[in-house]
Structure 1
Amino acid sequence: MYSISTETPADEYEVEALYDLCFAPGRTALSSYRLRDGVPRVADLCLSLRDEHRILLAAIRYWPVRIQEHQALLLGPIAVHPTAQGEGFGAMLMRDSLARARDSGWSRVLLVGDAPYYSRFGFFRLQGVDMPPPTNPDRILGLELGEDSWVGITGTVCRAA
C-alpha cells in the first residue's frame, strides 16, 4: 500500500536527502535552480509517495515560472529512491500531480529532461522556448494542460515575479 500526499515542512529534510541521493548535492548548481531561487514552490503540487511504513520512496516538486507574460509550471525535480526505481512510482507522481495542476487551473508545464521518457506523459520538445544557459535546447519539454496552451509562446524562461 502506498500513499501520495502533499509535501509538508516536516518533509523538507527527507525530500532534500532523497534529491541529494538521486542527483548528488551539486544539483543546485544547475541553471534551472536559478529559476527557483527566492521563489516559493507551488505547494499544493509538491507531492511525496510513501509506503505503508511511511518510508519516503519518491517526491516531485513544481515552481512557477514565466515566459514573457505567460505563466507556466516548472516540473522538477522528481526523484524515486534507487531501491524503488522501476516500480512505477515516478509515473504515479507525474500523473497525480499533473491532474492536480490541471484541476488547479494551470495550463502549461515545462521541464528539462529526456524526451523518450517524458513523451509518454504527453511532453514534447518546445520550439522557441529557451532556458538559462547552459541548457541543451533538445531537453526543454512542454506539456499542454489546456488546449493549445503552448501555441505561440516563445522566449526565455524567467523566474516568477
Structure 2
Amino acid sequence: MNGGGVLMAVAAAMVVGGLGWIAVETAVTGDNPTTTEPGDSSRVAFLDRGDCFDAGPTFDEDVDVTVLGCDGSHDSEVVWTDSFDTYGSEGDAAVAEARDEADDECRDRFAAYLADLPAGADVELRPYLGDGSHHVRDHGADGRSWTVACVAWSADGRFGG
C-alpha cells in the first residue's frame, strides 16, 4: 500500500469515527427566501419581514393568512424572518430543538422592536415555526431545514389604519 492510500484510510476512519459524536447543531442563516404581496395567502412562517396580516386572538401555525397592506388596519406584523437547519435529532426532539432556536432568535429580535414602540403598548411575541419538512444532509449528519417568522401581535388594538 502506498503512503497516499494510508493517509486516505486514516482520514476516512477519522471522519467515520467522528460521526458517533456529532453534537446537535443549529445554523441560523439570516434569510427567508420568499416574496409576498398584499392579497397573497401563506402560512405565517413563510411571510417576509414587514408583512402585515390579521391573526385574531388565536395562535395557529397551521392556518394560512392573507397578507394585508400595512397602512391599513391589522393586528400582526412580521418583525423578522429566517431559515435555519438543525442536525442530530429526529422526530419530536427535532421539533423541540427547532422551537427553542426559533424562540431564542425571536426574543432577541423582539426586544429591539419593542424598544421602538410607545411605552405601555400591549404587544406580544408570536414565533411561527414552519414544518421542517425539507431534509438536509451535512457532514454525514441528517438534518431538517426550518423557517420562522417572529410576529408582533397587538393584544389591545390594531396596528396601522
For the aligned pair, the TM-score class normalised by the smaller chain equals 0.3 to 0.5
| Structure with the larger helix share | 1
TM-score, structure 1 length as denominator?
A: 0.32
Structure of higher RCO (CA pairs closer than 8 Å, 6+ residues apart): 2
TM-score normalised by the chain length of structure 2: 0.32
